[in-house]
Amino acid sequence: MAMADVTVLGAGIFGLSVAWACAQRGAKVRVIDPHGPGAGSSGGIVGALAPHVPEQWNDKKAFQLDSLLMAAAFWAGVEDAGGLSTGYARSGRLQPLADDAALTLAQSRAQSAAALWQGQAEWQVVPAEGLGDWAPHSPSGWLIHDTLTARLHPRMACTALVAALRARGAEVLQDHPHQGRVIHATGVAGLEAASAVLGRSFGTGVKGQAALLALDMRASPQLFVDTVHIVPHADGTVAIGSTSERDYDDPASTDSQLDAVIARARAAVPALRDAPVIARWAGVRPRSRSRAPVLGAHPVHDGQFIANGGFKIGFGMAPKVAQVMADLVLDGVDRIPAGFRPEASL
Q: What is the mean pLDDT of the segment spanning 36-58?
A: 96
pLDDT at residue 2 is higher than 90:
no
Domain 6-89+149-202+289-345: which CATH number of 3.50.50.60, 1.10.287.3510, 3.40.250.10, 3.40.50.10420: 3.50.50.60
Residue range 174-197: mean pLDDT, rounded: 96
Share of the chain above pLDDT 70, in %: 99
* Cα distance between residue 173 and residue 314, in whole Å: 22
Q: Is the pLDDT of residue 1 over 80?
A: no
**Cα 81 to Cα 160: distance, rounded to the nearest angstrom:** 9
Question: How far apart, in Å, are the Cα atoms of 150 and each of 8, 121, 169, 171?
Answer: 27, 11, 29, 29
pLDDT score at 73:
98
Beta strand 6-9 pairing with 181-184: parallel
Q: How do residues 198-243 score in pLDDT, each as one tens digit?
A: 999 999 999 999 999 999 999 999 999 999 999 999 999 999 999 9
Amino acid found at 63: F
pLDDT at 15: 98
**Cis amide prior to 242 (ω within 30 degrees):** yes
Strands of the chain, DSSP E: 6-9, 29-32, 48-49, 93-96, 123-127, 142-146, 150-151, 171-173, 181-184, 203-214, 222-225, 228-232, 237-241, 277-288, 294-297, 305-308
Q: Which of 300, 87, 91 is nearest to 186 (CA)?
A: 300
Phi, psi of 20 (to 5 degrees): -65, -45
**Three-class DSSP category at 287:** strand
- DSSP letters spanning 156-167: HHHHHHHHHHHH
pTM of the model: 0.97
Give every CB contact of residue 317 below 8 A, 6+ residues apart in sequence.
Answer: 63, 64, 67, 293, 310
Separation of alpha carbons 270 and 115, rounded Å? 35
What per-residue confidence (pLDDT) applies to 130?
87
Q: Per-domain residue ranges for the chain?
A: 6-89+149-202+289-345
C-alpha torsion sign, points 24, 328, 293, 338: negative
**Is 34 exposed, middle or buried (CB count within 10 Å of its CB: 0-12, 13-18, 19+)?**
exposed
Q: Evaluate whether 267 touches 281 at the Cβ level (below 8 Å).
A: no
